[in-house]
Structure 1
Amino acid sequence: MEPDRTNALIHALSSWIDQSPDNLHRDPEALLWGRVAKVAEEAGEAISALVGVTGQNPRKGRSATRQELENELLDVALTALTALAHLRADDPRPADLLDLLAGHVEAVARRAGLA
């Protein structure tokens, strides 16, 4: 998928969440807390899938696939990016979220001595 389309879809998903009937009445700070907390919830689902992939729960055994784990990790990333879009929603121009991510990856790689 084209980066511009991906960026636009992330913004659209973030707006869709913000415009849901349950969120329209929320205090802006509470909405931000909810968006960031959702990232933690998704991370918990990724951990649950990891437990299922590795069979760490003897009662359930191997109860998840690697693909399910990958999808949960992608949900964490997408949820974080939509939260970032929400945080930057008041910017005059929509943020290029993938460019922000690329810049962050570059900075972390530099700190690790890889770039």
Structure 2
Amino acid sequence: MAVDALHGWLEQGREGDRADLLLRLLKLQEEVGEVAQAAIGAIGQNPRKGVTHTWDDVGAELCDVAITALVALRSLTPDAPAVFAGHLERVRTRSVGSGSGQAP
């Protein structure tokens, strides 16, 4: 899995302590800021800069957020795929129901 490969790459030469995990969580905040910057640039909200980004840029930044979050989750637990899948299913069930077309 690509997330495991990225996690392994980041772990090379590191002790794998909680400081590394904290830094990965802080990196997530940085990536979210880049989404905001791209969205502001896509709508031209800053009159001094005008339109500086496209909605494709926003999408790419959102992908960076997802990747960063998944690598951080993998740093927290080696069972990240199962943890994520279980959580996603719980959110789906409480949001759209069990498939009957009605919310629970």
**TM-score interval, normalised by the smaller of the two chains:** 0.7 to 0.9
Q: Which residue of 11, 17, 20 corresponds with 1:18? A: 11
Query: Which of the pair has the greater relative contact order for Cα pairs under 8 Å at 6+ separation?
Result: 1
Post-superposition Cα deviations, 1:47-99, rounded to whole Å, max 9, x if no partner, equal 1000001111111111001111100000000000011111114xxxxx352x4
User: Which of 65, 72, 76 matches 2:54?
Assistant: 65
Query: Per the alignment, in what secondary structure is the counterpart of residue 49 of structure 2?
Result: coil
Residue 2 of structure 2 is matched in structure 1 by: 9
Tell whether 2:43 aligns with 1:54: yes
Figure out how many residues of one structure are paired with residues of the other and give that number: 98
For residues 24-35 of structure 1, the aligned pairs below 5 Å read 24=14, 28-35=17-24
d(CA) in 1 for partners of 2:31, 2:97? 29
Aligned residues of 1:11 and 1:82 also touching (Cα < 8 A):
yes
TM-score (norm 2): 0.82
The match for 1:92 is none
Q: Supply the distance in 2 between the matched residues of 1:60 and 1:101 (Cα, whole angstroms).
A: 39
Instruction: List structure 1 runs of 4+ shifted beyond 4 angstroms.
Output: none
**Residue identity matched to 1:38:** K
- For the pair 1:109 / 2:102, whether they are aligned, the reply is no
User: Gaps spanning 5+ residues in structure 1: where?
Assistant: 1-7, 90-94
Amino acid at match of 1:18: E
Percent identity over the alignment is 40
Length-normalised TM-score, structure 1? 0.75
Q: Which letter does structure 2 place at the counterpart of 1:44?
A: G
Q: Secondary structure at the match of 1:63?
A: coil
Q: Distance in 2 between matches of 1:28 and 1:9?
A: 22
Q: In the alignment, what sits opposite 2:28? A: 39
The corresponding residue for 1:5 is: none
* 1:15/1:86 contact within 8 Å kept: no
